[in-house]
Amino acid sequence: MTITVDPGQLDGYADQLERNSGHLGGLASYCAAHCGPAGGMTGLLAAARPAVELARDSTADLLASAERRLLQVATNLRAAAHGYRSGDAAAAERIWLVLPRRAAPQGHLDRDDDRHAGDYRDPFVATPAVPAARHEVGAAAEEARHRIGVVDEWLARYTHVTLGEHVLPWLAGDWDALRAAADGYAGLAGPDGLPAIRANLGYGLDSLSSGWDSPAATQFAYTIRDRWLPALDTMRRLVELHREALECLAQQSENTLHAVVLAIEALEFWVVEKVLRSIMLAVPGGLWAEIGMEVMKTWHTITALFEALRLAFAAVREAAQLAGAEATMLEDVLAGGRLDPITVG
C-alpha cells in the first residue's frame, strides 16, 4: 500500500472543516431567529403556527446536527494527521478505512482541481443577511380592519348588529410573519447560506488532493464528495421547499384578505344605499332586520374565505411533517448510515 501524505495539509483542511462547522452552527441560530418568528401568529394565523414552528425547529435541529457531524469529521482528520506524524500510518489509515459505513466503489477517482493546492481559506462566508421587513399581507389585514370599522359605524347608528365582533378576532396577529419566515429560508438557501459551505468544502478538498494519496485519502474524498456535498445540496432543497410553501401561504393570505375587503366594501355600499333610501322614502322599520340578514350573509362569505385559508394552513403542516421526516433521514446520511450517498431529487 503506497501512502503519500503531508500531515500539515490534513491539519489545514481540518481547520477549514472546523470553521465551516461553525458556519453551520451560525445558520442553525439564523434559522431559529428568522425562519419562524411565530409569536405573533394569533387569530386565524394560529392554524399556521404549528407548521411554521415544525419547519423551523426541524431545520434548525438538522443544521445543528450537521455542525456536530462535520466537527467530528474534522476531529477524525486531525487524528489521522497525528498518526501519520507519529509514524503510525496504519492506524491513521484505519480511521478512514474502517469508520465509514459505505466504501468508495472500486476504481473510484476523485474529481480534483489542483490549481490551488494547500489553500484552505474559505472563498465564501455563510452569513445570510437578516430579512428586510415586509408589510404587504399586514397592510391587507389592516385595510380589512379599517373597512370593518367604517361598516360598524353605520350599523351602530341603526341596528344592534356589528360585523367586527365576528371578523376582528380572526384578523388578529402578525400577518407578515409568514413572508418573514419565507425570507429567512431564502437566506439559508441563497448564495450566502448553505451553498457557501458546500463551495468551501469542495474547494478545500481540491486543495488537499495533492497532499494526500492513499486508500484512506480516496475514502475520505469519497465521504466528502459523495456524502457531504450532496447532503448539503439536499439541505438547500429542503429549506427552499419551506420557502416556497410559506411564500405561497403568504400570497394566499394576502389574496384572501383582499377578497375579505371587497366583501366588506360591498356590504358597506349596500348598507349606505339602504339607509339613505329608508330616510328619503320612509321605508318601514323592517329594513333593519334586512340589514342584519345582509350582515350575516357577508359574515358567511368571509367565513368561507377564512375556512379555505385554514385548510391551506393545515396542508402545509402535513408538508412540514414530511420534510421533518426527511431531515431525520438526512441526519442518518451525515452519520454514515445506509442511505449514503443521498440521492433525493
The model's pLDDT over 5-54, given as tens digits with 9 standing for 90+, comes to 999 999 999 999 999 999 999 999 999 999 987 778 999 999 999 889 98
pLDDT of residue 105: 63
Structure confidence at residue 59 (pLDDT): 93
What residues make up the domain containing 209? Answer: 4-103+133-334
Classify residue 123: in a domain, yes or no: no
The pLDDT assigned to 99 comes to: 57
Does residue 116 belong to any structural domain of this protein?
no
Q: Is pLDDT at 337 greater than 70 in this prediction?
A: no
| CB-CB neighbours of 297 under 10 Å | 14
pLDDT at 343: 28
The DSSP output letter for 206 is H
pLDDT tens digits for 303-315? 999 999 999 988 8
Residue 259 lies in a domain: yes
Tens digit of pLDDT for each residue in 199-224? 999 999 999 988 898 989 988 998 89
What is the model's pLDDT at position 278?
A: 62
Please report the sign of the dihedral spanned by the C-alpha atoms of residue 141, residue 147, residue 150, residue 156: negative
- Chain centroid to Cα 190, Å, comes to 11
Strand locations in the chain, DSSP E? 4-5, 212-213
Does 198 fall in a domain?
Answer: yes
**DSSP states of 102-128 as a string?**
SPPPTT------GGGTT----SS---P
Give me the pLDDT at residue 1, please. Answer: 61
Q: What is the pTM of this model?
A: 0.86
In a domain, 128, yes or no: no
**341 belongs to a structural domain:** no
With beta carbons less than 8 A apart as the criterion, state whether 343 and 330 touch: no
Per the domain annotation, does 216 fall within a domain?
yes
Per-residue pLDDT tens for 224-283?
Answer: 998 899 999 999 999 998 999 999 999 999 999 999 999 999 988 887 776 666 654 455
**Is it the case that residue 325 has pLDDT exceeding 60?**
yes
Share of the chain above pLDDT 90, in %: 56
CA-only gyration radius of the chain, Å: 29
Domain count across the chain:
1
Q: Taking all residues of the chain, what is their mean pLDDT, rounded to a whole number? A: 85
Give dist(CA 99, CA 103) in Å, integer: 10
Residue 187 domain-assigned? yes
- Evaluate the CA torsion angle 35, 41, 44, 47 in order and state its sign: positive
